[in-house]
Amino acid sequence: MFSYRHAFHAGSHADILKHLIAIQLLRYLQEKPGALSIVDTHAGAGLYNLQDGFAAISQESAGGIVRLKDYLASTGADVPPSIADYLACVAIENAPESTALYPGSPFILARLLRPQDRLRLFELHPNEIDILRGNINQLHCVKQVDVYSADGFSRLKGLLPPPSRRGLTLIDPSYEDKNDYRNLESCLEEALSRFATGCYAIWYPVIARRESIALPERLKAIAKAHQRAWLCAELRVENAPGERRLQASGMFVFNPPWTLRDHLKDALPILKKALGLDSGAAYTLQSSEA
Ligand code: SAM
């Protein structure tokens, strides 16, 4: 279970979709002054050097953040606000014009904390947790961030409902362990029973695996059972059956802000054009409100 290292995938097309949406969720929730409880159940290392180690070997960022920036620079096209916001979050970690460093979800969320907010990070990998702690310790907001070497799936329920009744949870498993699918569902059932109005964002891979194919419908069924609104966005960058690399991924959001759909309507066509590798590039945007 400890073979997954997110550095291999840092700055990939899947990270772009996930992080762009996470930022917009946080932005919306921060429009009200009340304290926010933010949980990242599967944190990873927090910050990645794209020019070194696993990230340099995989070069996934070449098809992700690097490709997106090149596309926008070469076309001079108008950049939708959510993409501009995402790029600004990545730029915080870098010198002008550089994309040497890529922030994982812990850094993206931590950098956006207001003084009244709190961020809790869970990570199980023995190496990743040490790197994560070292990275978080460098942030000025370190006192607002708790890092736990623990199972995010089982620990989430203990944090719900947050005292302020305002919360955002990102659930981003690696799905290498097929129990992740089952654990995700029971974690969500429990979370929604305790704190139905919280915002929950779940990243998932779109791959030819029974559990993965079934996941969006199962999440919709959970939303229906708990009478929750939902939004589901998928981005495919190529359609190359038989190739092992990840070609598509999705984000499923319970209790999405009403603004999210419009942001994604603007952003997804650009992401498809910028990151698409063949004629199979596509996106979908569904929601309970549509
Ligand atoms: N959310 C991160 C980001 O966007 O930058 C990436 C996270 S990566 C996809 C998943 C991480 O979860 C891995 O670092 C893995 O070691 C860790 N992990 C796996 N099972 C876990 C569990 N049950 N609880 C907490 N962390 C877990």
Write out the two tokens for 25: 């969720």
Please compute the mean of the pLDDT values over residues 266-274 and round it to a whole number: 98
Q: Are 89 and 10 in contact (CB under 8 A)?
A: no
Is the per-residue pLDDT at 290 higher than 70? no
Q: Which residues are catalytic?
A: 172
For 42: left if phi > 0, alpha if psi spans -120 to 50, otherwise beta; the answer is beta
The answer, yes or no, to whether any atom of ligand 1 lies below 6 A from the CB of 153, is: yes
| C-alpha span between 223 and 100 (Å, rounded) | 39
Q: Are 129 and 58 in contact (CB under 8 A)?
A: no
Residue of the nearest CA to atom 23 in ligand 1?
A: 151
pLDDT of residue 13: 98
Ligand 1, closest atom to CA 123? 26
Q: Give 201: exposed, middle or buried? Use CB within 10 Å, 0-12, 13-18, 19+.
A: buried
| Cα(188) to centroid(ligand 1), Å | 16
Length of the chain: 290
Binning pLDDT at 50, 70 and 90, where does residue 190 land? very high
pLDDT of residue 77: 80
Is the per-residue pLDDT at 271 higher than 80? yes
| C-alpha span between 84 and 267 (Å, rounded) | 10
Q: Are 76 and 10 in contact (CB under 8 A)?
A: no
Identify the H or E element spanning 57: helix 53-58
- Report the share of the chain in percent with pLDDT over 70: 99
Instruction: Write down the mean pLDDT value for the chain.
Output: 96
| Cα(79) to centroid(ligand 1), Å | 30
Q: Are 208 and 230 in contact (CB under 8 A)?
A: no
Write out the two tokens for 279: 């004629």
| Cα(15) to centroid(ligand 1), Å | 13
Is the per-residue pLDDT at 1 higher than 80? no
Q: Are 177 and 1 in contact (CB under 8 A)?
A: yes
- CB-based burial, 114-123: b 16+ in 10 Å, e otherwise: eeebbbbbbb
pLDDT of residue 42: 98
The answer, yes or no, to whether any atom of ligand 1 lies below 6 A from the CB of 128, is: yes
Nearest to 169 by CA among 204, 129, 202: 202
Please compute the mean of the pLDDT values over residues 173-196 and round it to a whole number: 96
CATH number of this structure's domain 8-287: 3.40.50.150
Write out the two tokens for 146: 């708790």
How many separate helices (H) and strands (E) can be counted in the chain? 10, 10
Ligand 1, closest atom to CA 41? 25
Binning pLDDT at 50, 70 and 90, where does residue 192 land? very high
